[in-house]
């Protein structure tokens, strides 16, 4: 007897916990809040004109982040922290840029400095949690998320952080998920139009097609783009509404219909717009998101434990499947 048709959704936490920091949210006078219990000893005295110039560089850096120009932002933020290491927003936003561009290791000292120097500031905690998430240190990320929720119970993104915490906990426990595979060699793909959606860019479709092509290099499946959804094996749907996904923390989702281990249909949802200060998705992020969700649609339902794989549960700046991603797919189709 044939196994019944079933549907399975891959829960993906594709986004990092982090978002860029608004300079206006920052206490400019460190000594005023009375509840500060930690005084860093290596605090450097900076004269007020140097500090003002550092603030100017930091604000300009933040504006560049909002415009998506991370290279120029990094340059200004590095100058700002060199002039004034106690500039909270500059340290945080430099950490943010380094996280975003695949250099979480380099982000760590900046964010740790901000975290220990400004314990009353909520903004650094999700950034630092995001760094540990990207580095594969889930216990540290979970600890920081919990600290954030307990220390800042009124934070507006509390629900988002709680959703992330649940994903991190699920991810750090043993995954019982099975893998699946297509029984055909040529898989037909239909891409629904995305124009008009918030954050949608015409280039996204090309990025999505290139992502399929990257996976075809594993040599096990070929992809054919069809003009009608009723002939498609995989359907790709853009959305600007995070509520259509399984949780607030997700950037995408893949739902597989399967009979036993054989996939009969897959539907990929891709979020075009994120609910944060910097809402627009860069092409680099979209590519990482597409590669990850396509990987699920090909039957790889388990996440990798290695942050440099596109099948790691958080995707930062991965532009192409790693050799281990490719091997994983080949293994699925050669048994």
Contacting residues toward Zn ion, per CB under 5 A = 10, 12
Which residue lies nearest Zn ion, judged by its C-beta? 12
Nearer to Zn ion, 10 or 270 (CB): 10
Q: Which residues contact 17 (CB under 8 A, 6 or more apart)?
A: 126, 127, 129, 130, 133, 141, 145, 161, 164
Least separation in angstroms between CB 331 and Zn ion: 18
Q: What is the dihedral of CA 27, 28, 32, 33, to 10 degrees?
A: 10
Least separation in angstroms between CB 18 and Zn ion: 18
Least separation in angstroms between CB 295 and Zn ion: 8
Q: What are phi and psi of 28, to 5 degrees?
A: -85, -25
Count, residues in the chain: 335
Nearer to Zn ion, 117 or 272 (CB): 272
Residue 246 is classified by DSSP as: S
Least separation in angstroms between CB 313 and Zn ion: 6
CA–CA dist 183, 142 (Å, integer)? 39
Could you give the 3-state DSSP secondary structure of residue 115? helix
Least separation in angstroms between CB 303 and Zn ion: 6
Nearer to Zn ion, 10 or 108 (CB): 10
Whether residue 295 contacts residue 256, with contact meaning beta carbons closer than 8 Å, is answered with: no
Nearer to Zn ion, 69 or 244 (CB): 244
Nearer to Zn ion, 10 or 268 (CB): 10
Instruction: Please count the other Cβ atoms lying within 10 Å of the Cβ belonging to residue 330.
Output: 13
CA–CA dist 107, 295 (Å, integer)? 28
Least separation in angstroms between CB 273 and Zn ion: 19
Whether residue 170 contacts residue 14, with contact meaning beta carbons closer than 8 Å, is answered with: no
Nearer to Zn ion, 12 or 207 (CB): 12
């Amino acid at each position: 007897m044939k196994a019944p048709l079933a549907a399975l959704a891959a829960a993906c936490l594709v986004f990092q916990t982090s978002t860029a920091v608004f300079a206006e949210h920052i206490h400019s006078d460190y000594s005023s809040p009375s509840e500060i219990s930690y005084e860093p000893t290596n605090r450097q005295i900076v004269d007020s004109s140097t500090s003002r110039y550092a603030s100017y560089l930091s604000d300009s850096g933040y504006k560049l982040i909002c415009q998506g120009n991370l290279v120029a932002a990094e340059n200004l933020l590095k100058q700002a922290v060199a002039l004034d290491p106690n500039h909270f927003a500059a340290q945080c936003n430099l950490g943010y840029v380094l996280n975003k561009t695949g250099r979480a290791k380099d982000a760590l000292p900046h964010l740790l400095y901000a975290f220990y120097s400004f314990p009353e500031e909520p903004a650094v905690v999700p950034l630092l949690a995001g760094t540990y998430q990207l580095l594969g240190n889930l216990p540290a990320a979970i600890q920081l998320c919990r600290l954030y929720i307990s220390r800042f119970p009124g934070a507006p993104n509390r629900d988002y952080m709680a959703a992330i915490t649940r994903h991190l906990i699920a991810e750090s426990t043993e995954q019982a998920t099975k893998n699946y595979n297509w029984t055909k060699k040529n898989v037909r793909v239909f891409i629904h139009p995305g124009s008009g959606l918030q954050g949608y860019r015409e280039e996204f479709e090309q990025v999505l097609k290139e992502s399929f092509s990257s996976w075809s290099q594993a040599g096990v499946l070929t992809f054919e783009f069809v003009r009608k959804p009723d002939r498609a094996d995989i359907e790709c749907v853009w959305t600007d509404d995070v509520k259509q996904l399984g949780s607030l923390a997700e950037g995408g989702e893949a739902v597989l219909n399967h009979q036993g281990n054989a996939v009969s249909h897959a539907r990929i949802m891709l979020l075009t717009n994120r609910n944060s200060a910097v809402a627009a998705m860069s092409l680099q992020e979209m590519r990482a998101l597409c590669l990850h969700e396509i990987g699920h649609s090909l039957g790889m339902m388990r996440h990798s434990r290695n942050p440099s794989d596109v099948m790691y549960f958080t995707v930062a700046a991965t532009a192409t499947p790693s050799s281990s991603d490719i091997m994983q797919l080949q293994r699925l189709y050669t048994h």
